C-alpha cells in the first residue's frame, strides 16, 4: 500500500513540476514579447523626435530651371530652402515672392516638382 502512495505521489509531483514549468515558460515568453514591443515603440518615438528636431538640409534651388542667383536669394529670404518647400507654394505666392508673372511662377513650380 505504501508503494502505491509513493508512486502516486511521484506521478503527481512530476505532473505538478511539468505544469509549473509550462506556466513559467509561457509567462517568461509573454513578458519578453511585451518588453520587446515596448522597446520598439520607444525607438519609433525617438526616431520621430529626431526627424522632427533635425532641420531640413537646404537644397540648391538654382538647379530648378528658371531660378538663378537672384531668385535663389529672394526665396531664401522668404524662408524657402528646399525643393519640397518650393513645390508646396502656390503660383500666386511664388509670383509675389519673386516679383514675376503667375505663368512664369507656374513653370518654375512644375520644374521644382520634378526635382524633389
- pLDDT by residue for the chain (116 residues), tens only, comes to 566 778 888 888 899 999 999 988 888 777 666 777 788 888 898 888 877 766 668 889 999 999 999 999 999 999 999 888 898 999 999 999 999 999 999 999 998 888 76
Distance from C-alpha of 71 to C-alpha of 67, rounded to nearest angstrom? 5
DSSP 8-state code for residue 81:
-
Q: What's the pTM?
A: 0.52
CA 102 to chain centre: 36
Amino acid at each position: 500500500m505504501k508503494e502505491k502512495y509513493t508512486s502516486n505521489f511521484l506521478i503527481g509531483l512530476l505532473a505538478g513540476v511539468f505544469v509549473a514549468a509550462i506556466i513559467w515558460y509561457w509567462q517568461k515568453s509573454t513578458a519578453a514579447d511585451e518588453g520587446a514591443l515596448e522597446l520598439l515603440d520607444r525607438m519609433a518615438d525617438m526616431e520621430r523626435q529626431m526627424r522632427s528636431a533635425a532641420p531640413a538640409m537646404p537644397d540648391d534651388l538654382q538647379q530648378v530651371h528658371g531660378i538663378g542667383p537672384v531668385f535663389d536669394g529672394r526665396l531664401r529670404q522668404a524662408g524657402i530652402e528646399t525643393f519640397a518647400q518650393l513645390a508646396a507654394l502656390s503660383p500666386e505666392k511664388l509670383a509675389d515672392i519673386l516679383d514675376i508673372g503667375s505663368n512664369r511662377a507656374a513653370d518654375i513650380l512644375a520644374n521644382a516638382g520634378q526635382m524633389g
